[in-house]
Chains A and B, each alone.
Chain A
């Protein structure tokens, strides 16, 4: 049951082969048995999941089932879920029970999905290895001594290990795509504004975007269909019709123009990863696509730009965690200043504090122009690179991450090296573009992700390219040992 896709599971339940309750029990059982070694979930909610499964079964029987009826998922613990602990991977919110559902959670519920629990993540989504979580690191199902990537590492590991049919993730600088690549699953970061951010705990508001993490492009299409769309509660959410993503999955790739940015194939890219990517691109050529080399000349500015913009926004977004109204509060504060200092000193981990400090500095009087304003300008340059590229090509392709999964602890003390792991994913967030990562040929038993970047609101095209590749290959069907 656990190796079936969302579409297959839906069909089987509608055909009466098994019920959602049976399917949900099966996943709950797998979580019980297998989560211990992965630490992919922070909170499991089996009772709630079974109640939702029962409701889904009734809906399926009455023929009124939503498109995701009875499909068991996990939610990244960054999404507020009513009545359930929503920790954001932080001690700061270890005691926080959200009084409301995020729009993404609400929409997936409406589509009939069942929530198995909340996935582990880097604290406040700040990290590329899931090692900054207050709840401990997540282990990569392909090699338990390696990281799953981050920040949506718990979501990626849960899907890769078949602890859930799919998961939600969020991506601020690569947090869906990089863990998807490192865990061998499909992860889609939609266009900024395609999915509502309401109820998604903010890291960097101008970059954050929610998306599906699944076993296939087809599953991602089904998930995104339910998640996307206008939401009046988020002013930055686009009031634009949602395409029918499954309708275009099988479109021909004849004449599709793929651009390969030369900056994405240079120094720092592991040769094994490069070879896998070249092989995948060859397949696209065989499918009729035209492949051309392009240039995104300002690629080198992406990481430094990101590490001004994202920390600046986070330094402000995280000010609300002050021990006054919710979340962690230090013991016996002497006075107001003591309350603030100790609450935040004790409640936040090192990486979060580092970014708050960087961001506070970048916004300070006398530095604002040199850092924040400058970064806004370089952000424009990066967007313009893509704008020019999409005048000649349909999509941009390259590696998702320069390496395969690295060892736990390997980069945790070297933030700059860690930050460089997101070198290929960050630019799309800065430009607000959609990007997808799909598994291609593994290297030494470790997954490799191919990234496809599209123009604004071109998620359908990305899913189409991803699906056509997955129709010809079975890298997305591979299951790590011990989780089959």
Chain B
């Protein structure tokens, strides 16, 4: 039987506010346990939540970016359940009236086409704390630093029909929230958490199959693996005459498997109701206008602009707009006078390779956009050859100065004086009579040998185009 995969994702993004969503405590990651939880986060008797408006602005940015309906009035609700890392015994979330309604986002498929994925909603809520089950000798530790960190939960439609599409969608949302500056995107630290709902159905069937929800996915790689495992499991079950049980399953990266966490029957009744401590969030037309005006250029817009303004190929434009930092870097290199296509190549190959090798982030690059631009100009104006340029790049990387001073100091300036090149070629021809004879007898491949000899004599500085031209003339002549 041929099966069709159906996937929908719920993505929790931690919003990059400085303070928590309902208190003034810091949201910084990595502080000593329980040092960043104030009495409001701790749910002390008598305390009350006050909404952080920056979190609302961030939600608006997201809503505008995915062309969603923005609710002029949204409501915070309490989701009630007991757990030690949930101090109040309820999580403040949004239920019936979320701030961001229906929207959509395009994902790029392998064949170069785009597919539109529906976004059901995105709502604001507070994060819970962390329960630590190791290192406490049979007891559990609780760290409430994370309690009250603002989250935007982005819920997709079940529109993805393959694991590849699901990963592409998750990456696209990741790229977008980082672009918008509303999330740091750090999956290891839990700033971007993906829960995946997956089901299968016989190809052509309209009704959805029974789904399972996968939790604890903290990288795109694990996401792909978890979904693969789960897909196989469901196919095996159905083809073996069994049934998929609706349940939440935990992905165990160490064992690369998913296992049951709780079934539908064990699911909590969260007894949602509007939080009487908070007023409904009213978004005025003016506020929405302000938010629209403050929108940064989005990845897809930037990509189209790069194609148009810099004549980049679609593939290069896609690569150069992968992140805002990369796009900014690219534009700065080009602004300093470099050719766009050449810039794209150098940024993707040399710079990315060097950064990767050194384990550095683009923001930590020892080569500034201006320095790279200077180097690319020297290639373009034939001051140095492409081959020597790599040496120059290395020198800049090592802090030896910008392109011009490195070229000067190392004497790498290309020889373009025809007279000088001719002289060296004459010497090479004179020194290798046997090869000259063979070449003239039709062994064309030997041209490379002569070029190599000339380059050796000039330490690679001779302009390769000129060398070729003169060599051919002399050898044939």
Report chain A residues within 8 Å CB of B84.
322, 324, 336
The listed residue (B89, B142, B277) touching A320 by CB distance below 8 A is B89
Whether A198 pairs with B90 at a CB distance below 8 angstroms is: no
Interface residues of B in 245-296 (CB under 8 A from A): 269, 271-273, 276-279
B116 within 8 A of A: no
Contact yes or no, B45 A201, CB < 8 A: yes
Q: Are B44 and A326 in contact (CB under 8 A)?
A: yes
Tell me the nearest residue of chain A to B40, going by C-beta. A233
In the assembled complex, B186 has its CB within 8 A of some CB on chain A: no
Report if A316-B142 is in contact (Cβ < 8 Å); known contacts: A98-B45, A235-B278, A235-B279: no
CB distance from B236 to the nearest CB of A (A): 33
Q: Which residues of B contact A315 (CB under 8 A)?
A: 80, 271
Contact B45 A364 (CB under 8 A): no
Q: Would you list which residues of chain A between 329 and 368 have a CB under 8 Å from chain B?
A: 336, 340, 360, 363-365, 368
- What B residues does A327 contact at CB under 8 A? 45
A73 vs B84: C-alpha distance in the bound complex, in angstroms? 38
Are A319 and B80 within 8 A (Cβ)?
yes
Those of B97-143 within 8 Å (CB) of chain A: 142
Closest chain B CB from A125 CB (angstroms):
12
Closest residue on chain A to residue B84 by CB atoms: A324
User: Which of B48-56, B194-202, B431-439, B450-458 forms part of the interface with chain A?
Assistant: B48-56
Given contacts A316-B89, A319-B80, whether A198 and B44 have CB atoms under 8 Å apart is: no
Nearest chain A CB to B146 CB, angstrom units: 15
Q: Answer yes or no: A88 CB below 8 A from chain B CBs.
A: yes
B residues less than 8 Å from A202 (CB atoms): 45-46, 277
Report how far A232 CA is from B87 CA in the complex, Å. 22
Give the contacts of B285-312 with A (CB-CB under 8 A).
none
What 0/1 readout, one digit per residue, does chain A (87-111) give for beta carbons within 8 Å of chain B?
0100001001011101000000000
Instruction: Pick from B44, B47, B82, B278: contact of A319, CB below 8 A.
Output: B82
Whether the pair A236, B45 counts as a contact (CB closer than 8 A) is: no
Known: A88-B45, A96-B45, A234-B48. A319 touches B89 (CB 8 A): yes
- CB of A235 within 8 A of CB of B48, answer yes
Complex formed: what's the CA distance from A93 to B78 in Å? 24
Chain A residue at minimum C-beta to C-beta distance from B144: A325
The tally of residues in A whose CB lies under 8 Å from a CB in B reads: 44
Q: Which of A99, A325, A336, A372 has the most CB of B within 10 A?
A: A325
Residues on A with beta carbons closer than 8 Å to the beta carbon of B49: 235
- Are B273 and A312 in contact, CB atoms less than 8 angstroms apart? yes
Q: Is B43 an interface residue (CB 8 A)?
A: yes
| Cβ of B309 to closest chain A Cβ, rounded Å | 47
Taking CB atoms, residues of chain B closer than 8 Å to A86 are 45-46
Q: How far is the CB of B215 from chain A (nearest CB, A)?
A: 20
Task: Establish whether residues B273 and A199, one from each chain, have CB atoms under 8 Å apart when the complex forms.
Answer: no
Q: Interface of chain B, helix or strand or loop or mixed? A: loop
Contact of A205 among B51, B82, B272, B276 (CB under 8 A): B276
Establish whether residues A340 and B82, one from each chain, have CB atoms under 8 Å apart when the complex forms. Answer: yes
Q: A206-B276, A316-B90, A319-B82 are known contacts. Are A324 and B48 too (CB-CB below 8 A)?
A: no
Nearest residue, chain B, Cβ from A101 = B46
B50: which A residues are within 8 A, CB to CB?
232-235
Contact A325 B276 (CB under 8 A): no
Instruction: Mark out the residues of chain A between 203 and 236 whose CB falls within 8 Å of any chain B CB in the assembled complex.
Output: 204-206, 232-236
Looking at the complex, which one of B39, B80, B269 makes contact with A99 (CB distance below 8 Å)?
A: B39
A234 vs B142: C-alpha distance when bound (angstroms): 28
The distance from the CB of B46 to the nearest CB of chain A, in whole angstroms, is: 4
Residue A80 CB within 8 A of the other chain? yes
Q: Give every chain A residue within 8 A of B90 (Cβ-Cβ).
A: 316, 319
Say yes or no: A235 contacts B271, CB within 8 Å.
no
Kindly state whether residue B225 has any CB partner on chain A within 8 Å. Answer: no
Which residues of A lie under 8 Å from residue B172 when comparing CB positions? none
Are B276 and A99 in contact, with the CB atoms below 8 A?
Answer: no
Q: Known contacts A232-B50, A316-B90: does B277 contact A99 (CB below 8 Å)?
A: no
Max chain A Cβ within 10 angstroms of own Cβ: one of B44, B50, B51, B269: B44
* Interface pair A316/B271, CB less than 8 Å apart: yes
- Best-surrounded residue of B50, B87, B271 (most CB of chain A within 10 A): B271
Q: Are A325 and B45 interface neighbours, CB within 8 A?
A: no
Chain B residues with CB under 8 Å of A123's CB are: none
Please give me the residue from chain B that is nearest to A197 by CB atom: B48
Closest to B79 in A: A316
In the complex, 20 of the A-B residue pairs with CB atoms within 8 angstroms, ordered by the A residue number, are A86-B45, A86-B46, A98-B45, A198-B48, A200-B46, A202-B277, A204-B276, A236-B48, A316-B78, A319-B80, A320-B44, A322-B89, A325-B43, A326-B44, A336-B84, A340-B82, A364-B271, A365-B271, A368-B271, A368-B273
Given contacts A86-B45, A364-B269, 10 further A-B contacts (CB under 8 A): A93-B45, A98-B44, A234-B50, A236-B276, A319-B82, A320-B44, A325-B87, A326-B45, A340-B82, A368-B271
Among all A-B residue pairs, the 7 with the closest Cβ atoms: A319-B89, A363-B271, A206-B276, A205-B276, A199-B46, A320-B43, A201-B45
